[in-house]
Amino acid sequence: MSGNTLGTLFCVTNFGESHGPAIGCVIDGCPPGMALTEADIQLDLDRRRPGTSRHVTQRNESDSVEILSGVYEGRTTGTPIALLIRNTDQRSKDYTNIAQSFRPGHADYTYFQKYGIRDPRGGGRSSARLTAPTVAAGAVAKKWLKEKHGVEFRACMTQIGELEIPFESWEHVPHNPFFAPVADVQAYEDYMDRLRKSGDSIGAKVRVQASGVPVGLGEPLYDKLDADIAHVMMGLNAVKAVEIGAGFDSVTQRGTTHGDSLTTRGFETNNAGGVLGGISSGQDIEVSIGIKPTSSIISPRHSINTLGESVEVITKGRHDPCVGIRAAPIAEALLALVIMDHALRHRAQCGDVESGLAPIPASIQS
Amino acid sequence: MSGNTLGTLFCVTNFGESHGPAIGCVIDGCPPGMALTEADIQLDLDRRRPGTSRHVTQRNESDSVEILSGVYEGRTTGTPIALLIRNTDQRSKDYTNIAQSFRPGHADYTYFQKYGIRDPRGGGRSSARLTAPTVAAGAVAKKWLKEKHGVEFRACMTQIGELEIPFESWEHVPHNPFFAPVADVQAYEDYMDRLRKSGDSIGAKVRVQASGVPVGLGEPLYDKLDADIAHVMMGLNAVKAVEIGAGFDSVTQRGTTHGDSLTTRGFETNNAGGVLGGISSGQDIEVSIGIKPTSSIISPRHSINTLGESVEVITKGRHDPCVGIRAAPIAEALLALVIMDHALRHRAQCGDVESGLAPIPASIQS
Amino acid sequence: MSGNTLGTLFCVTNFGESHGPAIGCVIDGCPPGMALTEADIQLDLDRRRPGTSRHVTQRNESDSVEILSGVYEGRTTGTPIALLIRNTDQRSKDYTNIAQSFRPGHADYTYFQKYGIRDPRGGGRSSARLTAPTVAAGAVAKKWLKEKHGVEFRACMTQIGELEIPFESWEHVPHNPFFAPVADVQAYEDYMDRLRKSGDSIGAKVRVQASGVPVGLGEPLYDKLDADIAHVMMGLNAVKAVEIGAGFDSVTQRGTTHGDSLTTRGFETNNAGGVLGGISSGQDIEVSIGIKPTSSIISPRHSINTLGESVEVITKGRHDPCVGIRAAPIAEALLALVIMDHALRHRAQCGDVESGLAPIPASIQS
Amino acid sequence: MSGNTLGTLFCVTNFGESHGPAIGCVIDGCPPGMALTEADIQLDLDRRRPGTSRHVTQRNESDSVEILSGVYEGRTTGTPIALLIRNTDQRSKDYTNIAQSFRPGHADYTYFQKYGIRDPRGGGRSSARLTAPTVAAGAVAKKWLKEKHGVEFRACMTQIGELEIPFESWEHVPHNPFFAPVADVQAYEDYMDRLRKSGDSIGAKVRVQASGVPVGLGEPLYDKLDADIAHVMMGLNAVKAVEIGAGFDSVTQRGTTHGDSLTTRGFETNNAGGVLGGISSGQDIEVSIGIKPTSSIISPRHSINTLGESVEVITKGRHDPCVGIRAAPIAEALLALVIMDHALRHRAQCGDVESGLAPIPASIQS
């Protein structure tokens, strides 16, 4: 258990490095009988793909996925689904000059200390490129959850640097390079253009939502649904903060305000973010993540090298000036993987059958 | 894997309910040969114990721990350490009137939907009382980490409701009921007194720190050190938000600011919170958690019952008006359990020996 | 994962030592809503209990089990079921003289080398006494499997030393101290009396059967149903060999003989032992285990001590001259735990619903 | 955890089907810094490869392995090692006529019942072809164990059908197609020729040995070293029986005979097979497995089809008339994977350092 597998029943084992021959994953535990083609997966991969606007890295990867196993005549068989994505546009020479230095904010120093060895090409294993297999696996989970339970996943950017992005509508999200829920993104385009020219990078905030999640998913103690959500979100490259529901706003709330009242028509509010006592309530799961600025910047930084000497580091290569921009589809995938895993865990212990009373409507407000 | 076990190599399996005969845990994977007595564990249990000030629940539990196994002649044997804490001060009748109703903000509704059955006495399994075995296990982890690596754990309250608590010194923390790092806590005493009289509750924010953590702990992808920290923290009752290092402040930071420069004397800053690429850097691990207000309040709330009918709920019993107050020792224990697990995982894969260059000093600032 | 937990979904974490204050286990993953009392568990514990005939150890343990958690108003809640058995009849002084020596055939040497520390009292953790919590957990699994699927578990002794025991009927098993499926056990009584007087011990062979197992349990590759059965059986103290179905007889069988033909009335034979490709076929699961002679004998043996010096060892204390005699109820419990785990795993991935065609009758012969 | 991952710390996740585009595995947990090339792995794959003599299947697969990740500049990095083997010589049309029927002795019926869907081409996932990735992963484990601890693995055939094969020397094993430890294999050649002509198949018995295993590997209770060995061996296609050390011969042994005496020069015998109390003793690990006759035979058999109707089945295609013949290198790999996993588990809990007294020599006899 060296940390490259996610999930206990819907298990995703991720492999590969940014500049190795290929990246991919093996999904073990997918229920049999679901229609699945490479096109189902490619859709989300394309949403995450680099090189799609001037605001993200210009590395040009087609990210074409090949299903190696687990699907027969277009349907999942219940056996492991191996997904392969070949790397095609590596420029490893970009990394020659930093091979012996530790880039600030990067995993260079810690990998070197941990393993005594390090693949410097594009960050090797620590690269955000490794989110592609996660997105591919998430697409499989999303499909099952949608077909079985009607669950929908959505994510959008809510802040970029100092600029808070107001929520207008989910409909705008697919139509701009920022996954922003607004019609007019000119301000963000300008902001990013200025930033890119300055050779700097910036953080962002992203909101992720799952609606239609069945009530009852999650485990009572350590593996609470929100705990597992926090695990995957904080595990996403560059994420430094995670909130569920009201999040840090809960700190200043009173009990009389925070606790979401139940009525026969549904919950009156959703401060809980869809999770009570670690178990889904049937309301929308609401998550927010804070993402740090990209560490790969062309501005010179102080650092040391593998000999322990002072050096100045400039990170060339092709990088996202705001890694948060492409985080939306990844965060959706991660949320889907957690919910999928808990859907199977719930079924293992409690069966397919409904228990208790009929779930109340998710919310009278949404 | 129904979620009641924490850790992959230092595994803590937690059992019990708030009003059952006993609570406890089994620790599997503790290295052999460490001196361990019940007194070592009792110390942290006493820090978490209810009934120690007027600002926390008045339930009077001695929380005496009995070591049932895994220790022979005062030393751990490498076999499972079972810890037992008998419940002694249950008042289950307090819960008769809410047995058929769902308290807002509580796990009542979700447990009932998940399991089709529910132990209403004190919240049963969802009670914060179940943090006691976690604290007990954490004390074992803390002892090993201190003796083996010199790691120290500290936590303090940084905000209670609207009141931000300035950081004066860690020395004040043990001397007031709020785990506040300030000499004068009169303002917080008054605030809590007013709140208690109003029958309401309030949220809080707590900071947790580990210092002396060896460089190299954590796994590259899903089980990053910070991901596992977020998992345990978000899994703590009432927690709705988790930050590592700069946390949400990263959103507005530039890359030139956020990335902590390395020098031969150490890191210049600690925006990373001690974790780079999911692996400890040797700097202090810095975590912050946001805790919601207690859901058990005597003010009447709208809800429904198990028949789906509208009801009004008042939660009697003995409750913490601010669950965040007792969170500090629990958060320390959780952080210790994560770091302990990763210390063993690191040893499994990379051995006891140092790799790479000698770690640089943790920080030139701290 | 230090090896003290069995199962992936129906997880049993076992703790305790032969002469410590208590032994027990925590069951995590039991489905909610099943009626369960201590009496349900005690029944199987009593079948395994020492001191019930002159042919087994005279240690007098009541093995009374206390349910500490996971059951509310007589029904499982879906939360961890902790089971506690206090040790009451320890005679640790019996072990003073062997505390520094390694008894041949025992775990003394290997524990000392592994942990650098060892609890010599009654073998500590390596004692067969630790099968009691396994039997207790198995009783819970048996109850669920019987109520949900009608599965029945049976075990009997088929050989004791050189004496093969013919199979007459399962009905005889509960009526003699050998779990022998024959009416007249005088020959085995005499055999054991002679052996006990000679200060020696003997091996045995035990057959275990599960009938009514649903078709479809087991995983395709490493965690095959028979693989997991072999795991638990070989993990039982003193077991040195495991067979499924035809077992070693398969070596001399032809393919035309071994492969069990299917007909519309059921399978014609059961050489497979109820498992095909690692997945249950609906036929009886048939397992056979070979058990070594007890290592604790009063005849003197050559050995060494912790200083590496030659010594002569005599094992006093109260021991079973044939550990195989009490193995039957334990083997049943182990088989039940494996099948229970796979029943939940099946449900997780494939759901409660029947798939494929209606299962054919288990066998036209049985 | 759908059973396609082996190991807890050295984790091998296996994927693929007999006639899909590719098979392979992902190894997670390999220590960093070990030299590793595809040639290291190819060696064992070639020993297992089909088509190498007239006594095994004539399917012609090169089984060329490609390392997709986890190795940089010829050394393992500590990150997942993905291994890919393309299938090249599928003849799926051989299976058209059995696609709707269940071959006796095969997994056809159970897969269909479990998943409601089945890949009939070459047995799909249940094919022995899936042992290739296991062998590849085993080669990595073997290399580390040899370099770190000097462990050696060997396996040979000890019986084919009625013919017991005497042990002459390990040196003969690589020089005949049967992995037989004898110089003259004419009798077995003739036996197999007769059998093949008759359209039938036969069982076999194989011995596996690991020498140089450090003392102290294994866990005390459920995950005993021998339990985990039994798990992998019984999980190997067609295996129906597993013995450790004296195995079933223990049944008729007396305690005075079975328990291996310790002397200052080493153990006097090895009835234990190198495992005491579930933990390695430093002696040779000795395992024996019983393998059933191949189920794929051209002789007609009674069966039913997916409609539940009676049919006659003949299995064409290219099959091993004795699957036991190619089992030797696979069994070595499986044993290596178990020992590797326990070597890492031991290191996690007990560290790299030696504990206790210096291990005594493995055996004065071997």
pLDDT value of residue B366? 39
Does residue D167 belong to any structural domain of this protein? yes
Q: Give B197's contacts (C-beta < 8 A, 6+ positions apart).
A: none
Has residue B82 got a pLDDT over 70?
Answer: yes
**Chain-wide mean pLDDT for chain D?**
92
pLDDT value of residue A223? 96
B254 is in an annotated binding site: no
pLDDT value of residue C366? 40
What distance in Å separates the CA atoms of residue B165 and residue C247, rounded to the nearest whole number?
70
Tokens of B66: 């009995």
Is B348 within 8 Å of D348 when comparing Cβ atoms? yes
State the DSSP H helix or E strand holding residue D301, giving kind and residue range, or none if neither: strand D301-304
Stretches in chain A below the pLDDT threshold 70: 1, 317, 353-366
B54 is in an annotated binding site: yes
Q: Give C142's contacts (C-beta < 8 A, 6+ positions apart).
A: C44, C151, C153, C332, C333, C336
Q: Give B171's contacts (C-beta < 8 A, 6+ positions apart).
A: none
pLDDT value of residue D363? 57
Residue of D nearest to B30 (CA): D349
pLDDT value of residue B353? 56
Chain B, 309 to 348: residues with Cβ < 8 Å from chain C are: none
Q: Single out the residue of C290, C275, C301, C153 nearest to residue C218, CA to CA.
A: C275
Instruction: Give helix C225-234 / helix C327-350 axis angle, nearest 10°.
Output: 150
pLDDT value of residue C1? 63
Structure confidence by residue, pLDDT tens digits, D27-76: 999 999 999 999 999 999 999 887 778 887 777 888 999 999 999 999 99
Is D77 within 8 Å of A32 when comparing Cβ atoms? no
Chain C, 205 to 234: residues with Cβ < 8 Å from chain A are: 220
- 3-state SS, residue A7: coil
Q: Single out the residue of A281, D103, C129, A157 nearest to residue B251, CA to CA.
A: A157
Is A348 within 8 Å of C79 when comparing Cβ atoms? no
In percent, the amount of chain D with pLDDT more than 90 equals 77
pLDDT value of residue A364? 52
pLDDT band at B160 (very low <50, low <70, confident <90, very high): very high
Q: Which of B20, B69, B125 sits opposite C17 (nearest CB)?
A: B69
What distance in Å separates the CA atoms of residue D104 and residue C267, rounded to the nearest whole number?
9
What distance in Å separates the CA atoms of residue C288 and residue B93, rounded to the nearest whole number?
53
Q: Diameter of chain D by CA atoms?
A: 67
Structure confidence by residue, pLDDT tens digits, A57-98: 777 888 999 999 999 999 999 999 999 999 987 777 777 777
Residue of D nearest to C246 (CA): D240
Task: Name the domain count of chain A.
Answer: 1
Structure confidence by residue, pLDDT tens digits, D171-222: 999 999 999 999 999 999 999 999 989 989 999 999 999 999 999 999 989 9
Q: Single out the residue of C138, C164, C143, C144 nearest to residue C48, CA to CA.
A: C138
What CATH number is associated with residue B276?
A: 3.60.150.10
Does residue C48 belong to any structural domain of this protein? no
Least confident of A55-64, C88-97, C229-238, D338-347: C88-97
What distance in Å separates the CA atoms of residue C10 and residue C2, rounded to the nearest whole number?
17
In percent, the amount of chain D with pLDDT more than 70 equals 95
Residue of B nearest to D356 (CA): B33
pLDDT value of residue C284? 96
Binding residues of A for NADP(+): 48, 54
Structure confidence by residue, pLDDT tens digits, B313-362: 987 767 788 999 999 999 999 999 999 999 999 999 998 755 455 666 65
C293 is in an annotated binding site: yes
pLDDT value of residue D366? 40
What distance in Å separates the CA atoms of residue C47 and residue C69, rounded to the nearest whole number?
24
Q: What is the mean pLDDT of residues D9-28?
A: 96
Contact residues on chain A for C8, CB-CB shorter than 8 A: 8
Q: What is the mean pLDDT of residues C311-333?
A: 89
Query: B346 to chain D, minimum CA–CA distance in Å?
Result: 8
* Contact indicator for B279, A114 with CB cutoff of 8 Å: yes
What distance in Å separates the CA atoms of residue D322 and residue D330, rounded to the nearest whole number?
14
Is D79 within 8 Å of B220 when comparing Cβ atoms? yes
Structure confidence by residue, pLDDT tens digits, C27-79: 999 999 999 999 999 999 999 887 778 887 777 888 999 999 999 999 999 99
Q: Is D290 on the interface with C (CB under 8 A)?
A: yes
pLDDT value of residue D358? 63
For chains C and D, what is the number of CB pairs under 8 angstroms? 422
Least confident of A316-320, C5-9, C21-25, C172-176: A316-320
pLDDT value of residue B230? 98
Instruction: Give helix D38-48 / helix D327-350 axis angle, nearest 10°.
Output: 140
Residue of B nearest to A239 (CA): B247
Residue given tokens 């600029």 in the structure block: A163
Does residue A214 belong to any structural domain of this protein? yes
pLDDT band at C363 (very low <50, low <70, confident <90, very high): low
pLDDT value of residue B96? 76
Q: Single out the residue of C175, C199, C178, C200 nearest to residue C187, CA to CA.
A: C178
Q: What is the mean pLDDT of residues D331-345?
A: 97
Structure confidence by residue, pLDDT tens digits, C270-285: 999 999 999 999 999 9
Does residue B150 belong to any structural domain of this protein? yes
Structure confidence by residue, pLDDT tens digits, D238-279: 999 999 999 999 999 999 999 999 998 899 999 999 999 999
Q: Diameter of chain A by CA atoms?
A: 67
**Chain-wide mean pLDDT for chain B?**
92
What distance in Å separates the CA atoms of residue B262 and residue B264, rounded to the nearest whole number?
7
Does residue C232 belong to any structural domain of this protein? yes
- 3-state SS, residue C362: coil
Least confident of A250-259, C140-149, D353-362: D353-362
Is B32 within 8 Å of D349 when comparing Cβ atoms? yes
Q: Which of D1, D29, D355 sits opposite B349 (nearest CB)?
A: D29
Contact residues on chain D for A75, CB-CB shorter than 8 A: 117
Does residue B55 belong to any structural domain of this protein? no
Is C352 within 8 Å of A352 when comparing Cβ atoms? yes
Mutation for testing the C interface, residue in D1, D12, D26, D110 having most C CBs under 10 Å: D110
pLDDT band at C361 (very low <50, low <70, confident <90, very high): low
pLDDT value of residue D343? 96
Does residue D27 belong to any structural domain of this protein? no
β pairing state of A75-76 and A71-72: antiparallel
Structure confidence by residue, pLDDT tens digits, A234-272: 999 999 999 999 999 999 999 999 999 999 888 999 999
Angle at C163 between CA C158 and CA C166, to 5 degrees: 45
Structure confidence by residue, pLDDT tens digits, B83-96: 999 998 777 777 77
pLDDT band at C362 (very low <50, low <70, confident <90, very high): low
Chain A, 68 to 87: residues with Cβ < 8 Å from chain D are: 68-70, 72, 75, 77-82, 84
Could you list the residue range(s) of the whole structural domain that residue B333 is in? 92-350
Q: Single out the residue of B226, B357, B228, B350 nearest to residue B279, CA to CA.
A: B226
Query: B108 to chain D, minimum CA–CA distance in Å?
Result: 30
Gap between the terminal Cα atoms of chain B: 40
**Chain-wide mean pLDDT for chain A?**
92
Does residue C14 belong to any structural domain of this protein? no
pLDDT band at D342 (very low <50, low <70, confident <90, very high): very high
Chain C, 100 to 139: residues with Cβ < 8 Å from chain B are: 114-119, 124-125
* Contact indicator for B363, B283 with CB cutoff of 8 Å: yes
